[in-house]
């Protein structure tokens, strides 16, 4: 019950401040633009295929539009989600409201989970916006819905990892900008770490590749849900939430 | 209701409080008095479960603050020092949130919130954003959230700070009304507040308890003599001499007239007015003798009142005594 109360408050707080509106609008704009340009390129290619039959064989809306769109959405989320998580704890620390929360009969994990779920709800709302594009596309061409489903599952898991790290950063500082920049920096590093795997040599390469937060998304993009990738994202999220609990506890101890 | 046993808290190497022990009985209002940085807030944070002590134990409403924290927190209300509230919420929404996390029964919630809003005088601003409220209303919302769960123990850190005189009177009235139902512990550095509200006072300085007693006993206990303040219209030397000769008088001090418009009042009467502080042996009431003496001599008796040691003086004396002992 406490989780629900915290969730409701956080959800309302998102919409009491401009954060939710800004994040949702920017996401709708950017993902809409990506969708439009992918669709435009696809229809141009389809037009060329009518004059050159051999060219049209690999043309498939799921491969040409949905997959790159999901990849673009993942990058957009990387940029936007730190803004959605930055205030969750840092604001409470700065204004002192956390002291009152600590005096209420709420367990730390209930507090954390309520906040995490509120951020996840906002993230899901953003994914919901992109679903409008997909639904419109689906009314025009035939799509592989299995691929889309696995893509969304992947995005959801990836998003949980983003949010987990964002909340951890927020619990470590009173300053929202520091929380946002810190979360963004670490996420970006974990993203680009996968680019240098070939140059890193046979020992380090696979490790970097495994740590890369986006490499685990590839299987979802291909439509094959691999348990090790699911486990990676869940573990990453749980580790972040666990560290956040520790950080809250130490906040208590240090005052 | 509250039992603190040798509470000690270190922040790094700095000791915030050391061996703080006290008990508070059910229904009592206890004032926590001390200069800024004395450890009042630290003690209160420990009692509310916000901060674990470095050593020592505390039981609030029958539950240990460390091991039964959740049970304990169900039974308390806390008003932190700067009244941190969610400024982006409306008053009713905020109180509804607090009622939910404090575990007020779903069916009773609406009614309870209504009651509390009436009691704390925030019903008028129920639809206002907390961020837009004046300091006084914010304080009331803070008290309202503390009271929502009908707490057995109410802990308030500087409940009247930053309020205007009328608001202070109202908040004090509210706290007085709580006496008997809840056990209240409040911190303040306003001394008259303590003598007005509290059954007992705990004076804390440098992280240690200096004195625990009722305001009356504290005032009486520290006085080695009884003092009378007398303002007389008459020749200063003769009056002084006459007063000194009264039985039981230890000494008479003529006070400087700086605070008196001597030129005016004195000149009009044809004689100057003077203030004297007559110090006599303890429990020796000289009011009758002194007034008779002055009237018989034909001087004007303008004022005569017992000059009790104010809590301020006691406080300063206790705190400085402490400092001297520490140095010695």
Q: Which of A95-109, B192-206, B298-312 has the lowest mean pLDDT?
A: B298-312
Host H or E run for residue B119: helix B106-120
Host H or E run for residue B59: strand B55-60
Decide if B291 contacts B301 (C-beta within 8 A): yes
Chain A residues inside the 8 Å CB shell of B89: 9, 12-13, 16
Is the confidence metric ipTM above 0.90 for this complex? no
CB-based contact A100 B89, cutoff 8 Å: no
Higher pLDDT, B231 or B263: B231
Strands B29-33 and B200-205: parallel
Higher pLDDT, B286 or A156: A156
Give pLDDT, residue B142. Answer: 94
State the Cα–Cα distance between residues A240 and A88, nearest whole angstrom.
Answer: 14
Q: Is residue B304 left, alpha or beta, with left meaning phi > 0 and alpha meaning psi from -120 to 50?
A: beta
State the Cα–Cα distance between residues A159 and A181, nearest whole angstrom.
Answer: 17
State the Cα–Cα distance between residues B224 and A76, nearest whole angstrom.
Answer: 77
Separation in Å, CA of A86 to nearest CA in chain B: 16
Average pLDDT for residues B194-206, to the nearest whole number? 87
Average pLDDT for residues B183-195, to the nearest whole number? 84
Give pLDDT, residue B266. Answer: 44
CB-based contact A100 B145, cutoff 8 Å: yes
Strands B55-60 and B2-11: antiparallel
Higher pLDDT, A160 or B252: A160
Separation in Å, CA of A146 to nearest CA in chain B: 41
List strands edge to edge, sheet with B208-213: B76-79, B153-157, B183-188, B29-33, B200-205, B208-213
A10-57 per-position pLDDT tens digit: 999 999 989 999 999 999 999 999 999 999 998 888 888 878 767 666
Quick check: B326 pLDDT over 70? no
Structure tokens at B149: 């769960």
Given B78, B85, B103, which is nearest A103 (Cβ)?
A: B78
User: Alpha carbon of A176 to those of A89, A95, A180, B295: distances in Å?
Assistant: 9, 12, 6, 74
Quick check: B257 pLDDT over 60? no
Cα B139 to the center of its chain, rounded Å:
17
Domain spans, chain A: 2-32+66-254
* Bridge partners, B203 (sequence order): B33, B211
- Where does the pLDDT of residue A72 fall: very low under 50, low under 70, confident under 90, or very high at 90 and above? very high
Q: How confident is the prediction for chain B on average, in pLDDT?
A: 84
Decide if B235 contacts B294 (C-beta within 8 A): no
What is the CATH class of B2-221? Answer: alpha beta
Average pLDDT for residues A229-254, to the nearest whole number? 90
CB-based contact A104 B49, cutoff 8 Å: no
Give pLDDT, residue B221. Answer: 63
State the Cα–Cα distance between residues B156 and B90, nearest whole angstrom.
Answer: 23
State the Cα–Cα distance between residues B118 and B111, nearest whole angstrom.
Answer: 11
State the Cα–Cα distance between residues A177 and A173, nearest whole angstrom.
Answer: 9
CB-based contact A1 B100, cutoff 8 Å: yes
Quick check: B269 pLDDT over 60? no
Strands B76-79 and B153-157: parallel
- Where does the pLDDT of residue B259 fall: very low under 50, low under 70, confident under 90, or very high at 90 and above? very low
Decide if A133 contacts A69 (C-beta within 8 A): yes
Higher pLDDT, A30 or A200: A30
Chain B residues inside the 8 Å CB shell of A99: 45, 50, 80, 84
Nearest CA in chain A to B69: A105
CB-based contact A97 B98, cutoff 8 Å: no
B/e letters for A87-107, b = 16+ CB within 10 Å, e = fewer, are bbbbbbbebebbbbbbbbbbe
State the Cα–Cα distance between residues B60 and B46, nearest whole angstrom.
Answer: 10
Q: DSSP label at B39?
A: S
CB-based contact A99 B102, cutoff 8 Å: no
Quick check: B29 pLDDT over 80? yes
Can you give the C-alpha Rg of chain A in angstroms?
Answer: 20
Of the candidates B231, B291, B283, B286, the residue with the CA atom closest to the CA atom of residue B261? B231
Higher pLDDT, B239 or B98: B98
Give pLDDT, residue B34. Answer: 83
Structure tokens at B28: 């009592």
Decide if A89 contacts A98 (C-beta within 8 A): yes
Decide if A185 contacts A91 (C-beta within 8 A): no
Quick check: B146 pLDDT over 80? yes
A97-131 per-position pLDDT tens digit: 999 999 999 999 999 999 999 999 999 999 999 99
Average pLDDT for residues B46-51, to the nearest whole number? 89
Give pLDDT, residue B270. Answer: 46
- Where does the pLDDT of residue A182 fall: very low under 50, low under 70, confident under 90, or very high at 90 and above? very high
Residues 6+ apart with CB under 8 A from A94: A174, A175, A176
- Name the H helices within chain A: 2-16, 19-51, 61, 67-85, 87-95, 97-103, 108-140, 145-172, 176-192, 201-211, 218-222, 227-254
Chain B residues inside the 8 Å CB shell of A255: 11, 42, 45, 51
Give pLDDT, residue B323. Answer: 63
According to the 3-state scheme, what is the secondary structure of B154-223? EEEECCCCCCCHHHHHHHHHHHHHHECCEEEEEEECCHHHHHHHCCEEEEEECCEEEEEECHHHHHHHCC
For chain B, which residues lie within 8 Å of any Cβ of chain A, measuring from their own Cβ? 11, 42, 45, 48-52, 70-71, 73-74, 76, 78, 80, 82, 84-89, 93, 97-98, 100-103, 145
- B226-307 folds as Alpha-Beta Plaits (3.30.70)
Give pLDDT, residue B235. Answer: 84
Q: Which of B84-98, B164-178, B223-237, B259-273 has the lowest mean pLDDT?
A: B259-273
Domain spans, chain B: 2-221, 226-307
Structure tokens at B274: 């003077």
Chain A residues inside the 8 Å CB shell of B14: none
Separation in Å, CA of B176 to nearest CA in chain A: 23
User: Alpha carbon of A248 to those of A170, A187, A252, B46, B289: distances in Å?
Assistant: 11, 22, 6, 16, 68
For chain A, which residues lie within 8 Å of any Cβ of chain B, measuring from their own Cβ? 1-2, 4-6, 8-9, 12-13, 16-17, 95-100, 102-107, 252-255
Q: Can you say whether the dihedral through the CA atoms of A18, A23, A25, A26 is positive or negative?
A: positive
* Bridge partners, B17 (sequence order): B9
B/e letters for B89-109, b = 16+ CB within 10 Å, e = fewer, are bbbbbbbbbbbbbbbbeeeeb
Give pLDDT, residue B36. Answer: 81
């Amino acid at each position: 019950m406490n989780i629900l109360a915290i969730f409701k408050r956080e959800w309302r707080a998102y919409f009491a401040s401009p954060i939710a509106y800004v994040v949702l609008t920017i996401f709708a704009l950017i993902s809409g633009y990506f969708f439009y340009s992918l669709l435009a390129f696809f229809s141009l290619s389809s037009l060329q295929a009518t004059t050159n039959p051999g060219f049209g064989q690999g043309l498939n809306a799921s491969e040409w539009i949905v997959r790159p769109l999901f990849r673009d959405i993942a990058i957009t989320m990387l940029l936007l989600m730190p803004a959605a998580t930055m205030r969750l704890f840092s604001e409470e620390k700065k204004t002192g409201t956390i002291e009152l929360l600590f005096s209420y009969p709420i367990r730390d994990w209930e507090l954390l989970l309520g906040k995490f779920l509120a951020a996840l709800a906002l993230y899901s709302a953003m994914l919901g916006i992109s679903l409008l594009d997909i639904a419109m596309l689906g009314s025009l061409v035939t799509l592989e819905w299995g691929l889309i489903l696995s893509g969304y599952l992947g995005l959801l898991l990836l998003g949980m990892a983003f949010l987990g790290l964002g909340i951890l950063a927020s619990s470590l500082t009173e300053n929202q900008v520091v929380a946002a920049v810190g979360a963004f920096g670490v996420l970006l590093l974990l993203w680009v770490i996968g680019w240098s795997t070939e140059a890193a040599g046979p020992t380090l390469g696979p490790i970097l590749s495994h740590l890369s937060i986006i490499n685990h998304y590839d299987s979802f993009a291909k439509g094959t849900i691999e348990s090790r990738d699911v486990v990676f994202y869940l573990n990453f999220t749980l580790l972040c939430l666990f560290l956040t609990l520790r950080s809250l506890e130490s906040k208590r101890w240090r005052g | 209701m509250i039992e603190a046993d040798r509470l000690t808290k270190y922040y790094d190497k700095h000791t915030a409080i050391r061996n703080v022990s006290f008990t508070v009985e059910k229904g009592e209002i206890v004032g926590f008095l001390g200069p800024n940085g004395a450890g009042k807030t630290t003690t209160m944070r420990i009692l509310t479960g916000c901060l674990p002590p470095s050593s020592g134990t505390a039981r609030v409403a029958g539950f240990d603050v460390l091991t039964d924290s959740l049970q304990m927190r169900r039974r308390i209300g806390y008003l932190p020092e700067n009244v941190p509230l969610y400024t982006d919420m409306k008053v009713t929404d905020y109180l509804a949130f607090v009622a939910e996390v404090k575990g007020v029964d779903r069916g009773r919630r609406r009614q309870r919130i209504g009651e509390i809003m009436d009691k704390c005088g925030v019903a008028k601003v129920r639809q206002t954003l907390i961020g837009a409220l004046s300091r006084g209303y914010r304080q009331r919302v803070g008290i309202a959230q503390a009271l929502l769960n009908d707490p057995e123990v109410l802990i308030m850190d500087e409940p009247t700070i930053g309020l205007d005189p009328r608001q202070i009177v109202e908040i004090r009235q509210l706290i007085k009304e709580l006496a008997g139902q809840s056990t209240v512990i409040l911190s303040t550095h306003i001394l008259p507040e303590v003598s007005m509200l509290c059954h007992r006072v705990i004076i804390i300085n440098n992280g240690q308890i200096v004195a625990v007693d009722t305001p009356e006993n504290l005032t009486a206990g520290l006085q080695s003599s009884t003092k009378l303040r007398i303002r007389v219209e008459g020749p200063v030397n003769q009056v002084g001499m006459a007063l000194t000769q009264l039985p039981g008088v230890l000494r008479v001090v003529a006070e400087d007239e700086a605070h008196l418009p001597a030129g005016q009042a004195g000149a009009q009467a044809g004689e100057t007015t003077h203030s004297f502080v007559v110090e006599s042996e303890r429990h020796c009431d000289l009011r009758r003798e002194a007034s008779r003496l002055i009237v018989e001599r034909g001087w004007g008796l303008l004022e005569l009142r017992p000059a009790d040691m104010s809590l301020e003086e006691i406080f300063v004396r206790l705190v400085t005594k402490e400092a001297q002992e520490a140095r010695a």
